Structure 1
Amino acid sequence: MSLHKYFENLNFVHLVVFIFLFYVSQFYYKYFTRPNKLPGPFPLPIIECAYCFRGDIKQLFISFNKKYGDSYEIQLGGHRRIVLSRPGYIEKFFNNSLKHAIFMPTTPYSQGVKELRKSGKGLLSNDDFKSWKFAHRLFSRAILSPSFNNEAIKWTKLLFEELEGYWKSLGSINSDDKEWSLGTDFSKWVHRFTNDMIVVVTTGERSYSMGSYYNTLSPIKASYPDALIEDSDRFVRGINKFVAGIAFFAFLGPFMRHYVPFIRGKANEILKHRDFIFDKLDQIIKKRRQEIEVMQNKDLKNDMLTSLIIANTERDVNYKKTAGEEIFTPMPDIEIRANILSAFLAGTDTTANLFSFVTYYVCHYPEVKQKMLTEIDSIFPPNSSLELTHNDLSKLKYCEAIIKEVDRVCPAANLLGRYPTEPIEVGGYQWPAGTMFHFDLVSLHRHKDYWPNPETFDPDRFFLDNKNESYLNVKEDDLINDEHNKKEDRKVEQKYSFLMFGGGYRICPGRKLAMTELLSLMVYIFGKYDIELIDIEAPLKTKSSTATYCQQLMVKIKPRN
């Protein structure tokens, strides 16, 4: 039979089988001929290594590290991913030189991420260096201005006073103590606090997710219109779904997202939440532009959105072009939206989860709690008005050490990534441009070669050798030249073995805001209230994807004596 006759007699099933066999042969040919073969789970066609996932990425990578060591590979989302957890392997990825920053995006081009972010790039997943540099400059200028940080401290106090009111309303009076107390899920309140906080400091608009949660617990409703409460609740839920969906779109290929029934349904649900969030942000941006046009001769708001809108315009008092400097145009609305969303994604769940973990560990270690309270009381005397200032917060060295140690033993973020666009040598191998690297922060932060007694919770490891360093001392130039990170790099024990906010030229630009919020909450909550775990023996309830989420933290809250 001639080849022509053979193809004429092929039916649809035969054609599908032929295409599938061809795909499988190509898939395994590429796998078995790959350079620099590393250990790792064996990939399957189409689903690659997704079959290894059982719902918790953190535990998965811990098990991989124990099985395969400090460097191994996995296949996900159409990419070969090299996972590293030894400081010596990742040192050059955080080189502070501009040359290395140019060819070190955090992720490669991803059809899934592009589909999810819908045109705007922002900071988090931007693989275009020129676009990222432009966004980084304007974002940093906005978030590090003194007016912005003063606004953040102001709103921390206002929102905490609102939170106090809800707690007092829900609390019950104890006849013995003659004081109210409240048993509640602490993590739920902290998540809603940080959501309301990041929304107001970035957009200047109020969110009422704390009020929404209060309404679910109390017959007496919060003093806000129902429409505002419902809108805030939907907005917060949308952001949470969007955050959870990032790994889904980044790691799963288009075939699985578009054609596998259960996965397709989940992908469509995430996209619906995305569309709602984007529409809401577009409305806020349009409204703010109109306000700015009307307020020609009046003081503008000190939120990030206003700063991004007026950046590089005649209203921007902070921008002074010098001779020979590259000319930057104002940021378009689609990029403003992407950068505001980047702030939401990086500044809500991570901060809330980390503070929940801080509370869990402080309650488990009485001696740590007492040292923390002694420091807080020495700077902010009990029964005082607790008027926080940036200068006073910077004195909380032991509190900051607690935060760092908690993030070491239980990182809020589980993975960081870098994607060299030039060849690079790592771990004794020469890797081609375009290789995707991931850093397993959980294993890195507990590496026995770099951390004595890595399983032991001990804030003194950061406090005793780190009294003069603080994330609160970050300035705008530090985010460009990364002088602060160079100081961190000089420490022997923690050099590249502790990456709370990443590192190098792409270190998190919001780390100063995050630490300000965390320290402020420590002062307000532990300075005024006694927090105890209801069940001290209960394990910390978490679930992990690209970040680790606190699912529940039951505590008893009562005023401090």
Structure 2
Amino acid sequence: MIIQKIIDSFGITEFFILFGLTLTTYIFTFYYNYLTRPNPFPGPLPLPFIGNLHNIVDIKLFYEQCQQKYGDICEIMFNGCRCIIISRSDYMEKFLYPTTYFMKIPYLQGIEEFGFYGRGMVFNNDYKSWYYHRQFFTQALLTPKLMDTAINSTKQLFEELSGYWQSLGMQNTLSNNKEDNNNWTLETDFSAWLHGFANDLVSIVITGERTYAIASYYNTQSIIKSEHAGALVSDGNKFVNAAVKFINDIAFYMFVGPFMRHYVPIIRNMTIPMLKNRDYVFERFDMMVKNRRKMIDELPTDTEMKSDMLTSLITANTPRNTIKVKTVDDEMLKPMDDKQIRTNLVEAILGGTDTTSNLFCYMTYYVCKHPHAKQKMLLEIDSVFSKLSKKFSVSQEDISKLKYCKAIIKETNRLIPTAFMTTRYIGEEREFSGYKWPAGTQLHLNFIAANKHPKIWTNPEIFDPDRFYDDNKYSLKFNDKNLMMFGGSQRICPGRKLAMTELLLLMALVFKNYNVELVNKNEPIKIKTGLTINCEELKVKISPRI
């Protein structure tokens, strides 16, 4: 009653005065805590409520500029939390490789709202749960049968892709001789094809079924439609675009707090379509799980099960179990629920699609801008695979011989890493660089800057695959710890061998059979940074290599 009387006695002027005093007190406290923080490092000045969000127009560029302006260790503020940016690979080893830095992020309400926190691997800080899913991924992705499936599917999808390119090239090329199948040129967006191709391929490897994404994109470009049933391809391209958007939106939910997402008008209007897109993506994956579960239930008990990852996830710890997984807790030895299965599928399919397609686009961009590297790549491909046969056989042993191609992939990832940074979280007090870091400190490991650090890399801005092909050319020796490509420690990407195999084979298939040139060599590549660095467009000219 007393409080009510005080409120009733307030006029408009008093309310404004109280609001002003409260705001002033908050701002004073905010900057007092900021200026008296332990172990201060240089960094851009944060603002109350939003931290350093105002500094970010291009998040990739922001992290590069932080290293250039503030040094190898600096700090920023997101979501009300202090974040230390580490921008040198030899410093990162202390946080990537010891198991004491297992935790990736603290609890984030945004990640839970987006449907990821505490499940699968990427945003799971429960070691027992994470270890179980990690073992599952590793065993599922490294089976010889799955690798053979990946190789055969890559070849089959490429033959289909080649047919689409030829069809569009013949439609778009003004030629008197329409019977000459080698006399055409196609100007197209390479990134759209690669995102569709990677989505089809990864979906086949993980679920045993394809999304018909490349057929769907072809139908949007051609007056002649794909031979696949319309119902199968009708929304394949829509799903790929939604998946790319979904991955980019995760970063927004990591860095923007719940108050701003739900109550600040402009930002709230951004979150609504993000959540709708999330729901669409989840519905697609839920349908995959539902249909496969029904198929499994209807099979006789003595029927041999498929070897794909989706089947293994559904049958985990059931009488039909196809993969035996070690665990540190017997409580994990129970069937996965549909949300756990969905999270694993999302991480496997979208993670594999995004990194593979983007990295291949960036590799294409760089080799087309550097004729010497391109010619050296072609000589290696032609030496390993016969130039006379269009449909050549291929084995994992053949793929392993593409050493210069592998160097190109590594050098490309050095210049444009598909994941520009990763995070670590200190759960208890640790000492580093002469300082004691309190529990709760968040670390951002800045790959984009570390991969071009002038004290680690010779001529860091220059594209030169020889740095991974002939170490003797350089004064410094390089190894995988210097190159932040697949992460490190227990959280290193479990699909790295599969991803490298797919990339190398696709390089051989594309560049053995086609001339690929940039439409405009002087135009910078169009990218957008979210959780990963995504290639939005790459205009190329494609013609048969005779």
Distance 1:321 1:234, change over 3 A: closer
> Is 1:356 matched with 2:361?
yes
Residue 507 of structure 2 corresponds to 522
Provide the rounded CA distance (Å) in 2 between the counterparts of 1:258 and 1:452.
47
Which of the numbers 154, 157, 160 marks the counterpart of 1:159?
Answer: 157
Note if contact 1:151-1:302 (Cα within 8 Å) is conserved in structure 2: no
Instruction: State the one-letter code of the partner of 2:10.
Output: L
Alignment of 1:106-117 (within 5 A): 106-117=104-115
Task: Kindly state the Cα deviation for residue 310 of structure 1 after the two structures are TM-superposed.
Answer: 2.1
Residue 192 of structure 2 corresponds to 188
SS at match of 1:381: coil
> Is 1:302 matched with 2:307?
yes
Q: Any idea what the Cα deviations from partners look like across 1:460-506, whole Å, max 9, x if unmatched?
A: 1111249xxxxxxxxxxxxxxxxxxxxxxxx9533632110001111
> Is 1:345 matched with 2:350?
yes
Most deviating of 245-254 and 455-464: 455-464
Provide the rounded CA distance (Å) in 1 between the counterparts of 2:19 and 2:145.
63
Instruction: State the one-letter code of the partner of 1:540.
Output: I
Residue 330 of structure 1 corresponds to 335
Note if contact 2:315-2:322 (Cα within 8 Å) is conserved in structure 1: no
Identity score, percent: 47
> Is 1:94 matched with 2:99?
no
Note if contact 2:128-2:328 (Cα within 8 Å) is conserved in structure 1: no
Residue 464 of structure 1 corresponds to 470
Provide the rounded CA distance (Å) in 2 between the counterparts of 1:308 and 1:134.
12
Provide the rounded CA distance (Å) in 1 between the counterparts of 2:453 and 2:327.
46
Distance 1:527 1:431, change over 3 A: same
SS at match of 1:549: strand
Note if contact 2:404-2:469 (Cα within 8 Å) is conserved in structure 1: yes
Task: Kindly state the Cα deviation for residue 19 of structure 1 after the two structures are TM-superposed.
Answer: 4.0
Which of the numbers 45, 56, 72 marks the counterpart of 2:48?
Answer: 45
Provide the rounded CA distance (Å) in 2 between the counterparts of 1:258 and 1:204.
39
Task: Kindly state the Cα deviation for residue 118 of structure 1 after the two structures are TM-superposed.
Answer: 5.7
Residue 238 of structure 2 corresponds to 234
Residue 23 of structure 2 corresponds to 20
> Is 1:537 matched with 2:542?
no
Residue 142 of structure 1 corresponds to 140
Provide the rounded CA distance (Å) in 1 between the counterparts of 2:537 and 2:320.
45
Q: Any idea what the Cα deviations from partners look like across 1:308-363, whole Å, max 9, x if unmatched?
A: 22233333354287999897333222111101111133211221111001111111
SS at match of 2:346: helix
Distance 1:503 1:454, change over 3 A: same
SS at match of 2:188: strand
User: Structure 2, unaligned stretches of length 5 or more?
Assistant: none
Provide the rounded CA distance (Å) in 2 between the counterparts of 1:81 and 1:438.
7
Note if contact 1:120-1:335 (Cα within 8 Å) is conserved in structure 2: no
Provide the rounded CA distance (Å) in 1 between the counterparts of 2:56 and 2:326.
51
SS at match of 1:422: coil
Task: Kindly state the Cα deviation for residue 127 of structure 1 after the two structures are TM-superposed.
Answer: 2.0
Task: Kindly state the Cα deviation for residue 388 of structure 1 after the two structures are TM-superposed.
Answer: 2.3
Residue 68 of structure 2 corresponds to 66
Provide the rounded CA distance (Å) in 1 between the counterparts of 2:3 and 2:277.
52
Provide the rounded CA distance (Å) in 1 between the counterparts of 2:42 and 2:327.
52
Provide the rounded CA distance (Å) in 2 between the counterparts of 1:83 and 1:90.
10
Which of the numbers 321, 324, 338 marks the counterpart of 1:319?
Answer: 324
Provide the rounded CA distance (Å) in 1 between the counterparts of 2:72 and 2:146.
41
Distance 1:191 1:507, change over 3 A: same
Most deviating of 15-24 and 251-260: 15-24
Residue 125 of structure 2 corresponds to 127
Note if contact 2:84-2:442 (Cα within 8 Å) is conserved in structure 1: yes
Note if contact 2:307-2:322 (Cα within 8 Å) is conserved in structure 1: no
Provide the rounded CA distance (Å) in 1 between the counterparts of 2:176 and 2:373.
30
Which of the numbers 364, 373, 377 marks the counterpart of 1:368?
Answer: 373
Most deviating of 126-135 and 223-232: 223-232
Residue 79 of structure 1 corresponds to 81
Number of aligned residue pairs: 531
User: Structure 1, unaligned stretches of length 5 or more?
Assistant: 467-490
> Is 1:428 matched with 2:434?
yes
Provide the rounded CA distance (Å) in 2 between the counterparts of 1:320 and 1:415.
30
Residue 209 of structure 1 corresponds to 213
Q: CA RMSD in A?
A: 2.5
Provide the rounded CA distance (Å) in 1 between the counterparts of 2:323 and 2:259.
48
Which of the numbers 523, 542, 547 marks the counterpart of 2:532?
Answer: 547
Q: Any idea what the Cα deviations from partners look like across 1:60-113, whole Å, max 9, x if unmatched?
A: 1112211111111111122211001112321211225xx42xx42222110011
SS at match of 1:179: coil
